[in-house]
Chains A and B, each alone.
Chain A
Amino acid sequence: MPLRRFVRLAPLMLLLVLALALPAPAQAPKSGGVLTIHPLSAPPSLSPHEESTIAVVQQASPCFSNLVYYDPAKKQESVDTIIPELAEKWSWQDNFRNLVFLLRKDVKWHDGKPFTSKDVKYTFDMVRGAPDAEGRLRVNPRKLWYDNVEAIEAPEPYTVVFRLKKPQPSLLPMLASGYSPIYPQHVPLADFKNKCVGTGPYKLKENRPGEYVEYVRNPDYFVKGRPYLDGIKWIIIKDRSTQIAAVQAGQLDVAGSGWNKANADTAKKGKPQLVLLENDSNVNDNVLVNFKRAPFTDVRVRRAFNLALDRKSYLVGPRQGGASFGGALLPKPAGVWGLPLAEVQKLPGMGDAVKQKAEAKKLLAEAGFTDKNPLKVTVSTRALAIYVDTASWMVDQLRQVGIDATLEQIETGVWHPKMTRLEYQVALNLTGVGIDDPDAQLFENYRCGSQRNFSGYCSEEIDRLMAEQSSTLDKAKRLKIVNEIDRKLQADGARPVLGWGKQYAVHWPHVKNYPQHENSIYNVSRMQDVWLDK
């Protein structure tokens, strides 16, 4: 090439090289399109305050708004990733005894009525079961979350004050959960069984029980320029193979609620262009040991059980490689409050399987159970595949240490009544926690007398420590107390955690900004930033 021509072309070539070398500029989001997705199951209602299933949170979240919410773009939820929603600002006052919210003034309910502080007071008075609450929830699973709230005041139309009995930094994370939307005071509570009137980015178009829940864009949504989508259609597909076929055939944009790794791999194998997502779900497999029944009152028997269940075998067996190990709180790095990894490696069941099983046998012998006089145990579980798989594995593990274990499948309709009444010996259970927070997890499942403390475990010391961590403002100090609680719970064999399941999903590459959080599946379904590159 002649030098003159080279000099002339050099700037162009330089530009070309730069264009190739630099990262591609972020694509500008496009508006339009309807996102099709399948939920875990049909929602029993569209009222998150009355339910405890992800199916409701998933399908109702696009309709509602919270005071505050977890930033969909930040992978790990923590107090630092909380963003305003209906509240413009908030501040802690009186040494974390009062939480004051200043609300947006430009918000309308889907039926056109204005949103005010009265709606916030109405909602949380109802949830905390205040004596003078205007509404009453028939079923109130998260009443305990707001146990520390003394009063809620709405001194002005756009100001709300939560007055607490004692400082509780966890209140803000709990208010940011998908389980904490604001309800309209003027809509009867019973309407949320089938309908939804919220302030969220999408308005309910149609809810056909057992078929689909369909939303359209809310043109009056208070965040300008959002949502990008024209709508969302949650299509209920019960059969997993049909779910996989539907996403492969392009009838679903996103699939994976309740999937394990094998399901996601199968979908991806059929359509390699699908984007595979893996994240911790904040749902754990745990063993309920009935503390009120002999021989489980004996710490040696509980420890033997814990040692007999080889966690590595659990990982490759029922969980097919999709789980992480930890104690009572979601382990690091996905979790914020879990035990340090080095400690997790030393928990019962994590060591050498042969040695641990030998130790388990020794402990059982000390407690009076030998090969000639084996401990007979019924392992109860819910008659759902995800439970039965792990429970069957558990029975096999227990038999390996000489325990005469049999499996009992309990129909879903009578599972919780039995658990609440402690009508079982040992059970395999799954526990999902709305937020990765010690108050949400510990009080509910381990406090003496709590309705969801299904093992009947009760320790005054643990109760005291739980209360202490709850009002500790310094995060590092609080983490220390939480870890101490976790260590003690593991030593006591209180509800041993087998592992924390991972969740898998797939979506087509044209789905952009699909939110996934590392430490919870419950707080990401607003969908206002999702867009389709079609």
Chain B
Amino acid sequence: MRGYITKRLLIAVVTLIGMSMVIFVLMRLTPGNIADIMFESAGYVDQADKKKIEMELGIDKPIPMQYLSWLGELTQGYLGKSYRYERPAWEIIKPRLPVTLELALLAMAFSILLGVPFGVISAIRQDKPIDYVLRVVSLAGLSMPSFWLGMIVILLLVHSLGWIPSVTYVSPFDDLRANLAQFLFPALAVGYRSSALIMRITRSAMLEVLREDYIRTAWAKGQRERSVVWRHALKNASLPVITLLGIEFAFLIGGLVVTETVFNLPGVARYLIDAIQGRDYPVVQNLVMFIAIIVVLANLAVDLLYAWVDPRIKYGKA
């Protein structure tokens, strides 16, 4: 197992280096740069002054030189300086990480808490009224974009209660209750969509497993429904669900742009868009790398979970 993890981590490093090159080159191929953006605010572009700014920021050098210089800084633990705010990029990124992580984790929690039980119930009550109801609920979840749902939630809250979650970020360390009130609705809006997906996958995996011989044997041995369903069937049906959870979590880290915008949460995804529009290369590079690391780690965690859930899966052996 240790060898497997080491191998996976080495592959992850190669993947991340590849990612870094792609994002580095893509950002620089996009028309316009930070000097253009700075003049954008001034309302014109002075070519001579623009050249001076490009020189100051080091973006006049060839792309490979810029890339090597960034990698050099990274190895020293320095993430570079935000061009837009002239602050260390880490100073800009750091406060945004807990916001996105909290939202993603809460949304995941909601999606698991709703999706797995509903998927199981739907499978064991196949073609019964409750199955139809839950399938409609899940289809609705898949059909409604989470930002749209978020907007509807905000409108309903303001019209019915005259209240909406705080539009400025409240840290859980300052006020846990207010923080939860702030994250509850966006997490529900995002989690609902994910839960619908999880429910459908759980249902189909469960239906498949419930038709297996060993389940029939368990029934024949007179085991209780709870034991058959939750202990024997669900454990074996959970592999595709775990895969999906890994993918969903990675998506939630970088894909909550609109939800963060609608609920005015200062998270990574929303800021990433701002940084791309502002051609703030150091911030974009580091944020994308952060998302890539989460994706790689989430996939690794999923693979390791496979082995834990299904002892037949062995890593590190031919």
Residues of A whose CB lies within 8 Å of any CB of B are 42, 44, 50-53, 56, 138-141, 190, 193-194, 208-212, 233, 235, 237-239, 241-242, 245-246, 248-252, 270, 411-417, 419-421, 451-452
Contact at B95–A270, with CB atoms within 8 Å?
no
Which of A141, A193, A194, A239 lies at the interface centre, i.e. has the most chain B CB atoms within 10 A of its CB?
A239
Taking CB atoms and an 8 Å cut-off, the chain B residues in 6-58 that contact chain A are: 30-33, 36-46, 49, 52-53
Contact at A238–B49, with CB atoms within 8 Å?
no
CB distance from A129 to the nearest CB of B (A): 11
Partner of B36, one of A252, A417, A451: A417
| 5 A–B contacts from the bound complex (CB under 8 Å) | A139-B49, A194-B87, A245-B158, A251-B164, A413-B37
Across-interface contacts of B84 in A (CB, < 8 A): 44, 209
Across-interface contacts of B49 in A (CB, < 8 A): 138-140
Contact at A413–B261, with CB atoms within 8 Å?
no
Contact at A414–B31, with CB atoms within 8 Å?
yes
Contact at A242–B154, with CB atoms within 8 Å?
yes
Contact at A241–B40, with CB atoms within 8 Å?
no
Contact at B87–A210, with CB atoms within 8 Å?
no
Contact at B95–A208, with CB atoms within 8 Å?
yes
Contact at A209–B163, with CB atoms within 8 Å?
no
CB distance from B173 to the nearest CB of A (A): 16
Contact at B44–A420, with CB atoms within 8 Å?
yes
Contact at B41–A53, with CB atoms within 8 Å?
yes
How long is the Cα–Cα vector from A56 to B40 in the complex, in angstroms? Answer: 13
Across-interface contacts of B41 in A (CB, < 8 A): 44, 50-53, 56, 139
A139-B42 CB under 8 A given contacts A238-B261, A246-B167, A413-B32: yes
Contact at B168–A212, with CB atoms within 8 Å?
yes
| Contact of B162 with A by CB under 8 A | yes
Contact at B262–A411, with CB atoms within 8 Å?
no
| Contact of B274 with A by CB under 8 A | yes
Contact at A417–B262, with CB atoms within 8 Å?
no
CB distance from B288 to the nearest CB of A (A): 17
Across-interface contacts of A411 in B (CB, < 8 A): 31-32, 277
Contact at A241–B151, with CB atoms within 8 Å?
yes
Contact at A417–B168, with CB atoms within 8 Å?
no
Q: Which 3 A-B pairs give the minimum distances between C-beta atoms? A: A413-B32, A141-B42, A414-B32
Contact at A239–B40, with CB atoms within 8 Å?
no
Taking CB atoms and an 8 Å cut-off, the chain B residues in 274-318 that contact chain A are: 274, 277-279
| Contact of B166 with A by CB under 8 A | yes
Which of B40, B46, B261 lies at the interface centre, i.e. has the most chain A CB atoms within 10 A of its CB?
B40
Q: Which partner residue on chain A sits nearest B30 by CB separation? A: A413
Contact at B86–A194, with CB atoms within 8 Å?
yes
| A-B contact sample (9 more), CB < 8 A, given A209-B84, A238-B264, A451-B46 | A44-B278, A50-B41, A138-B38, A139-B38, A209-B85, A411-B32, A416-B39, A417-B32, A417-B36
Q: Which partner residue on chain A sits nearest B33 by CB separation? A: A413
How long is the Cα–Cα vector from A411 to B52 in the complex, in angstroms? Answer: 23
CB distance from A192 to the nearest CB of B (A): 10
CB distance from A58 to the nearest CB of B (A): 14
Across-interface contacts of B42 in A (CB, < 8 A): 50-52, 139-141
Contact at B154–A241, with CB atoms within 8 Å?
yes
Across-interface contacts of A52 in B (CB, < 8 A): 41-43
A211-B168 CB under 8 A given contacts A138-B53, A411-B32: yes
CB distance from A2 to the nearest CB of B (A): 53
| Contact of B92 with A by CB under 8 A | yes
Q: Which partner residue on chain B sits nearest A414 by CB separation? A: B32
Taking CB atoms and an 8 Å cut-off, the chain B residues in 249-289 that contact chain A are: 261-264, 266, 270-271, 274, 277-279
Contact at A235–B266, with CB atoms within 8 Å?
no
Partner of A42, one of B43, B167, B274: B274
How long is the Cα–Cα vector from A237 to B261 in the complex, in angstroms? Answer: 8
| Contact of B155 with A by CB under 8 A | yes
Q: Which partner residue on chain B sits nearest A141 by CB separation? A: B42
Across-interface contacts of B39 in A (CB, < 8 A): 139, 416-417
How long is the Cα–Cα vector from A139 to B53 in the complex, in angstroms? Answer: 9
Across-interface contacts of B270 in A (CB, < 8 A): 210, 238
Partner of B166, one of A53, A251, A412, A452: A251
| Contact of B67 with A by CB under 8 A | no
Across-interface contacts of A249 in B (CB, < 8 A): 157-158, 162-164
How long is the Cα–Cα vector from A142 to B238 in the complex, in angstroms? Answer: 64
Contact at B158–A270, with CB atoms within 8 Å?
yes
CB distance from A101 to the nearest CB of B (A): 27
How long is the Cα–Cα vector from A250 to B157 in the complex, in angstroms? Answer: 13
Contact at B167–A242, with CB atoms within 8 Å?
yes
How long is the Cα–Cα vector from A211 to B261 in the complex, in angstroms? Answer: 11
Across-interface contacts of B151 in A (CB, < 8 A): 241
CB distance from B37 to the nearest CB of A (A): 5
CB distance from A196 to the nearest CB of B (A): 14
| Contact of B70 with A by CB under 8 A | no
CB distance from B164 to the nearest CB of A (A): 5
CB distance from A293 to the nearest CB of B (A): 19
Across-interface contacts of A452 in B (CB, < 8 A): 43-44
| Contact of B221 with A by CB under 8 A | no
Contact at B43–A141, with CB atoms within 8 Å?
yes
How long is the Cα–Cα vector from A238 to B167 in the complex, in angstroms? Answer: 11
| Contact of B159 with A by CB under 8 A | yes
How long is the Cα–Cα vector from A141 to B85 in the complex, in angstroms? Answer: 19
Q: Which partner residue on chain A sits nearest B283 by CB separation? A: A209
CB distance from A139 to the nearest CB of B (A): 4
Across-interface contacts of A237 in B (CB, < 8 A): 167, 264
CB distance from B211 to the nearest CB of A (A): 48
CB distance from A430 to the nearest CB of B (A): 10
Across-interface contacts of B154 in A (CB, < 8 A): 241-242, 245
Across-interface contacts of A193 in B (CB, < 8 A): 85-87
How long is the Cα–Cα vector from A209 to B92 in the complex, in angstroms? Answer: 8
